[in-house]
Structure 1
Amino acid sequence: MPDPTASPWWSAHVHADRRPRLLARNAITRAVRGWLEGQAFVEVETAALQVSPGNEAHLHAFATEAVGHGGERSPLFLHTSPEFACKKLLAAGERRIFSLGKVWRNRERGPLHHPEFTMLEWYRAGEPYERLMEDCAALLSLAAETAGSRAFTFRGRSVDPFAEPERITLAEAFDRFAGIDLLATVAEDGAVDRDRLAAQAGEVGIRVAGDDTWADVFSRVLVEKVEPNLGQGRATVLCEYPTPEAALARVKPGSPRVAERFELYACGVELANAFAELTDPVEQRRRLQAEMDEKQRVYGERYPLDDDFLAALGRMPPACGAALGFDRLVMLALGAERIDQVLWTPVAG
């Protein structure tokens, strides 16, 4: 519970203490924009109100509605990511684009989470997703250089932001940090062996409930055994996710059990999520419907699909895209302990 006697962020003396970090945030923002523009990216502004906020099972949106002149009402959502809109722009002919703006996610608040936050999302058409790994490394060093920081630190962990990130696959990480053969539980058609993964997890001390799905067990192993070991000394690129954990990503050519997806970690903190984009609208619809079926099972709700997005997907060129939590990057670059320490006006409550 917040201390009701504590001074609010807008108190002059509190703001004076916060202001150096906020000005440094502005400098990092300018540097990132300048770097992307120097790479021939075009900045785009996507609408925050969408007919679908995104269709990941465990992401929760803020809902609202549009009211017409006659009182007719249509449901709308604040987007959890500009992804669908950006992909429509790729279908329209854009080749390198980025969005640096606000997104909203409900049920999220803590040292690393805020209901309204800033996301940097960028796309490269016709380029391999390994280019995004290079982009991530460049952004880490750029943020550190701009902040005058030689190291990122968080909760006793430290990372050299100028060192080349290590690359490790999910299969390697599960074997190294948990002693689990992950891909032995995934078939080439994407089917999963829940009982085999649960048995392996139980052997290494992971609690498994009788109604846990394969995805539940996967997530628990990732959080408890793998993530705490990532991004120490240097950043980590965790890549080649099993296909059931990459609903928006393309299957890796020649390796049907894994997809071209990676996440970037520093100091144990997840900073970015990236894909070689799936461009098959039929397959994408099937995957998004499966995500919403899971959301219905777990939370008793579902979000509509964006049919306009699926139509555009069929005309979208091969591309790769990444989403980076900008506030978290600023946090690490400035040595902050909580995300609200680098936000100009934190959301109340």
Structure 2
Amino acid sequence: MSEWRPTADFTALGRRAQLLCQIRGFFAARGVLEVETPLLASAPVTDPNIEAVSAQSPSGEGLMYLQTSPEFAMKRLVAAGSGPIYQICKAFRRGERGRRHNPEFTMLEWYRPNMSLDALIDEVVAVVALAVGDADVAQMTYQQVFELHCGLNPHAASLDQLKACAMEHLDLSFDSDDRDLWLQLLMSSVVEPALNPKQISIVYDFPETQAALAKIAVNGDGQRVARRFEAFYAGMELANGYDELRDAGELVRRISDDHSRRAAAGQDLPPIDRYLLKAMAKMPECSGVAIGFDRLAMIACGAERIDEVIAFPLESV
């Protein structure tokens, strides 16, 4: 095949276009406003697991960043009184390339003021069903899936127990004292592949240390957990949703923790989004979620690689 041609065939691109129309119809029927926010931002997320793509400022002075998601700008709209909103847009993450990843990808993200996390999960299931059709749904806590597939309580297990479990299941040649690294490794390499690929799996109540921008709550066992969920289907993570944090002071504390972890790993320390901090004081109670649209398209098309549902991946531009 000529290198100038698209990697996706036109049947896949047609199904992708149809899915976009279905999603817009879904939100229009529910009175959710479609919005657009800038791709360029003065500050990216500080999460050590996400690296933003930097760009020269249009003014020629300093750096800006291509958004890793529209989260910060959309939260400013919600704080300003937009009501429920959604966006379908391009997002960018450095170093992410593989069977399911392209550094430039399409994100579907929406925010629902005064909607419970349970109601948001129902909406996520309905959106995923646009791509997969009717499917069974299973909801489990993070603790339940770890106990089922790893045989340990992720909140109570010691660092040595997490390491031993990982060594039992995986061929590893490194060591670390970062507890979350082992939890994330077990989640991605042991738990996720064990989830039923033919059902929509919702995993919720993540460890407090993996809250990102979600609130913290106390579960029935007295354990502090993140009010956060992820959705999976066909062996892929599709969605990441939060009961959104509204405390600017707590946000600063979490950013400081991110910076400390980044410094220890030799990563760049990105600036803080001062506009988001100011908007926090006006944020209503809100739940929000992001879905990788390209992955939805992969499921809708029965594709094995992201290249089969996007016209021109990284190597083609």
CA drift at 1:202: 4.8
Q: Which deviations, in whole Å up to 9, do the C-alpha atoms of 1:173-193 show, x marking residues without a partner?
A: 1110011121214xxxxxxx5
Q: Which TM-score applies when normalising by structure 1?
A: 0.84
SS, match of residue 184 in structure 1:
coil
Q: 1:172-251 counterparts in 2 under 5 A?
A: 172-185=144-157, 194-195=159-160, 197-199=162-164, 201-202=166-167, 207=172, 209-251=174-216
Task: Write the distance in 2 (CA, Å) between the matches of 1:342 and 1:205.
Answer: 31
Partner of 1:327: 294
- Alignment check: 8 A CA contact 2:149 2:190 kept: yes
**Which of 15, 24, 32 in structure 2 is aligned with 1:33?**
24
Task: Write the distance in 2 (CA, Å) between the matches of 1:323 and 1:204.
Answer: 30
Task: Write the distance in 1 (CA, Å) between the matches of 2:289 and 2:266.
Answer: 27
CA drift at 1:253: 4.7
Identity %: 34
Partner of 1:148: none
SS, match of residue 98 in structure 1:
strand
Unpaired runs of at least 5, structure 2: none
Residue 206 and residue 285 in structure 1: after superposition, are their counterparts in 2 closer, same or farther (change >3 A)? Answer: farther
* Amino acid in structure 2 at the alignment position of 1:301: D
Partner of 1:130: 118
Larger radius of gyration between Structure 1 and Structure 2 = 1
SS, match of residue 90 in structure 1:
helix
Q: Which deviations, in whole Å up to 9, do the C-alpha atoms of 1:98-121 show, x marking residues without a partner?
A: 010100011011110001000000
Residue 279 and residue 181 in structure 1: after superposition, are their counterparts in 2 closer, same or farther (change >3 A)? Answer: same
CA drift at 1:256: 4.8
**Which of 25, 49, 65 in structure 2 is aligned with 1:77?**
65
Q: Which TM-score applies when normalising by structure 2?
A: 0.93
**Which of 2, 6, 11 in structure 2 is aligned with 1:7?**
2
- 2:243 aligned with 1:271, yes or no? no
Partner of 2:104: 116
Task: Write the distance in 1 (CA, Å) between the matches of 2:105 and 2:224.
Answer: 33
- Alignment check: 8 A CA contact 1:231 1:269 kept: no
* Amino acid in structure 2 at the alignment position of 1:317: P
Residue 208 and residue 276 in structure 1: after superposition, are their counterparts in 2 closer, same or farther (change >3 A)? Answer: farther
CA drift at 1:232: 2.1
- 2:12 aligned with 1:21, yes or no? yes
CA RMSD, aligned part only? 2.0
- Alignment check: 8 A CA contact 1:104 1:117 kept: yes
* Amino acid in structure 2 at the alignment position of 1:324: I
Unpaired runs of at least 5, structure 1: 1-5, 145-160, 186-192
Residue 256 and residue 74 in structure 1: after superposition, are their counterparts in 2 closer, same or farther (change >3 A)? Answer: farther
SS, match of residue 296 in structure 2:
helix
CA drift at 1:347: 2.9
**Which of 287, 293, 303 in structure 2 is aligned with 1:336?**
303
Q: 1:83-122 counterparts in 2 under 5 A?
A: 83-122=71-110
CA drift at 1:143: 2.4
Task: Write the distance in 1 (CA, Å) between the matches of 2:112 and 2:290.
Answer: 12
Task: Write the distance in 2 (CA, Å) between the matches of 1:126 and 1:206.
Answer: 45
Task: Write the distance in 2 (CA, Å) between the matches of 1:208 and 1:284.
Answer: 35
**Which of 35, 39, 45 in structure 2 is aligned with 1:48?**
39
Residue 231 and residue 298 in structure 1: after superposition, are their counterparts in 2 closer, same or farther (change >3 A)? Answer: farther
Q: 1:139-178 counterparts in 2 under 5 A?
A: 139-144=127-132, 161-178=133-150
Task: Write the distance in 2 (CA, Å) between the matches of 1:277 and 1:259.
Answer: 10
